[in-house]
Chain A
Amino acid sequence: MIMLYEHHFRAMNTGVGVWVWSADLEHTPTIQPALGWAEAFFGRAEAELSRFRGHSALSRLNRAAGRGPHVVSSMLWAVLLAAFDAAHESGGIYDPTVLHSLERAGYDRSFEAIEPIAREAVSPTPTLPFGSWRGVRLDGLTRSVDVPQDLALDLGGIAKGWTVDHVALALAPLGPVLVDAGGDLRVVGMVDGEAWPVGVQDSFMPERDRALVRLRGGALATSSIGGRRWRRGDRTLHHLIDPRTGTSADSDLHAVTVHAPDAMTADVAAKVALVLGSTAGTAYLLKRGVSALLTATDGREMVVGDFPHQEVVPHASHHCA
């Protein structure tokens, strides 16, 4: 007997779904507590890693900016290491220290609470010079972080990816598992050799899917400028900050969906490619060895690498690699 267990809950300001197949009755008494653990772990991760929680470990670290080394929790430490690795690997296009730029652009509270239209324009002057993230010091011996006075950290997407990966790997001994947090999802294992079918949202028509992915392993993440948008003055802004300009990225891409070995990598790669645009973004994705489905602002679809999609409903499509 093969059982598919599902558990849905809300965490990190999004919907989370966990699916576990199990054919072993010995695991039956374990699975329900394990699903409960998964929900609790997401809650704990949110409590430690969210910038919207005033008492989170991340908020305490941000408040300690300019005051010297600050010892952080092991969870925050793990995510910070991954975040600064990603910053280094992407040449600073992924930057975990753009929080002040994000807040200056208007994303200073949970997205649902943002005023959609405001008359005040956002100053075009960047808050910080490009590459300021290099000023953050991490000391592995004391597990402490020294954040310069003018910087503040935001770990939104990468924290979600890290949590998805952590939960998926922890549940994997019970059977094939899929963990999805707001579109960042990770698969470990398959049932009866059959891939997990996952839809890819159409970034222009969010109620329908643009493609179907047969996921045999690894992770998917999507970044898009179509969702979190608001107006300030005569500009439409979104949440993907280009650290080179300090404001919302001006990209020719509308959405990027990346298939990578893990959700954290997929989330970072999707953001970086979108900020870089189709040409530099494609080069970056190929260099990273991940595959992707890119949707341009004019509706063109581009496939990078061996993206495991079954079908794409294109306006105009061409294959990049």
Chain B
Amino acid sequence: MMIVTNEGLPGASHTTNNPGEGASLCGDRPMKTTSSAGSTHVPSVQRSSRGSPASGQWWKAWVLLTSVGATVLGWMAFTTGEPPVESVVIAPVARPMPIEVAPALGGSGLDEPRPLLRSARTLPAMPQKPIFQAPVTRTRRS
């Protein structure tokens, strides 16, 4: 037998899969059910100890407001502890790219007129060796 209780809140339901009982009771009506340990619950007493339905509404509101407040405070703490997003983002000139490095340039590669190029490549924090898959550049006759 499994008992799921949601006691103490207005409109709380007690469900039991105990054959023969199977009742779901609401409101102030005292309910008597049997737990797996055979103990007796007196929901009305527990509800009264937590206040009336009106005070229950206040409790819900309090929980909601506290959650929202904590979320907002936490968000503010994180955003003020870090630099603005704009200063972290490197784009558009520095875009994360695959680890692979450009292959060696041809014989006249660097000697050809090339447009201005700025780029950046990203590696994971623990890069797999070898970092360079090909020569970065070449020394050549001058």
Chain B proximity of A193: nearest CB distance (Å): 9
Q: A264-304: which have CB < 8 Å to B?
A: 267
Q: A52-60, A65-73, A131-139, A203-211: which lies at the B interface?
A: A203-211
From known contacts A3-B122, A14-B110, infer whether A180 and B137 are also in contact, taking CB-CB under 8 Å: yes
Q: B2-10, B63-71, B112-120: which lies at the A interface?
A: B112-120
B122 partner, pick from A2, A14, A16, A201, beta carbons under 8 A: A2
Q: B94-137: which have CB < 8 Å to A?
A: 94, 101, 104, 106-114, 116-125, 127, 129-132, 134-137
From known contacts A2-B125, A192-B131, A207-B107, infer whether A198 and B114 are also in contact, taking CB-CB under 8 Å: no
Whether A32 pairs with B93 at a CB distance below 8 angstroms is yes
Instruction: Kindly state whether residue B87 has any CB partner on chain A within 8 Å.
Output: yes
Whether A157 pairs with B142 at a CB distance below 8 angstroms is yes
B121 partner, pick from A3, A16, A192, beta carbons under 8 A: A3
A31 to B87, CA, bound (A): 12
Q: Which single residue of chain B is at the shortest CB-CB distance from A213?
A: B139
A5 to B93, CA, bound (A): 9
Chain A proximity of B35: nearest CB distance (Å): 55
Chain A proximity of B20: nearest CB distance (Å): 64
A25 to B101, CA, bound (A): 21
Instruction: Kindly state whether residue A155 has any CB partner on chain B within 8 Å.
Output: no
Q: A142-150, A223-231, A312-320: which lies at the B interface?
A: A223-231
Instruction: Kindly state whether residue A6 has any CB partner on chain B within 8 Å.
Output: yes
Instruction: Kindly state whether residue B60 has any CB partner on chain A within 8 Å.
Output: no
Chain A proximity of B135: nearest CB distance (Å): 4
Whether A8 pairs with B142 at a CB distance below 8 angstroms is no
Q: Enumerate chain B residues within 8 angstroms of A261, measured Cβ to Cβ.
A: none
Chain A proximity of B118: nearest CB distance (Å): 5
Chain A proximity of B16: nearest CB distance (Å): 56
Whether A197 pairs with B125 at a CB distance below 8 angstroms is no
Whether A8 pairs with B110 at a CB distance below 8 angstroms is yes
A157 to B139, CA, bound (A): 14
Whether A3 pairs with B139 at a CB distance below 8 angstroms is no
Chain A proximity of B116: nearest CB distance (Å): 6
Whether B141 pairs with A183 at a CB distance below 8 angstroms is yes
Whether A3 pairs with B114 at a CB distance below 8 angstroms is no
Whether A15 pairs with B114 at a CB distance below 8 angstroms is yes
Q: Enumerate chain B residues within 8 angstroms of A223, measured Cβ to Cβ.
A: 141-142
Instruction: Kindly state whether residue A9 has any CB partner on chain B within 8 Å.
Output: yes
Whether B107 pairs with A206 at a CB distance below 8 angstroms is yes
From known contacts A9-B116, A28-B88, A32-B94, infer whether A200 and B139 are also in contact, taking CB-CB under 8 Å: yes
Q: Enumerate chain A residues within 8 angstroms of B120, measured Cβ to Cβ.
A: 3-6
Q: Which residues of B come within 8 Å of A, CB atoms? A: 87-88, 90, 93-94, 101, 104, 106-114, 116-125, 127, 129-132, 134-142
For the complex of A and B, list the 10 residue pairs with the smallest distance between their C-beta atoms, beginning with the closest. Answer: A15-B110, A224-B141, A206-B107, A199-B138, A201-B140, A183-B140, A199-B135, A227-B141, A2-B123, A220-B139
Enumerate 5 A-B pairs (CB-CB under 8 Å) in ascending A order.
Answer: A5-B118, A8-B116, A15-B109, A201-B107, A224-B141
Known: A32-B93, A182-B111. 13 other contacts (CB 8 A): A3-B123, A5-B94, A15-B111, A17-B110, A28-B88, A184-B139, A194-B130, A198-B138, A209-B104, A209-B138, A221-B139, A222-B140, A224-B141
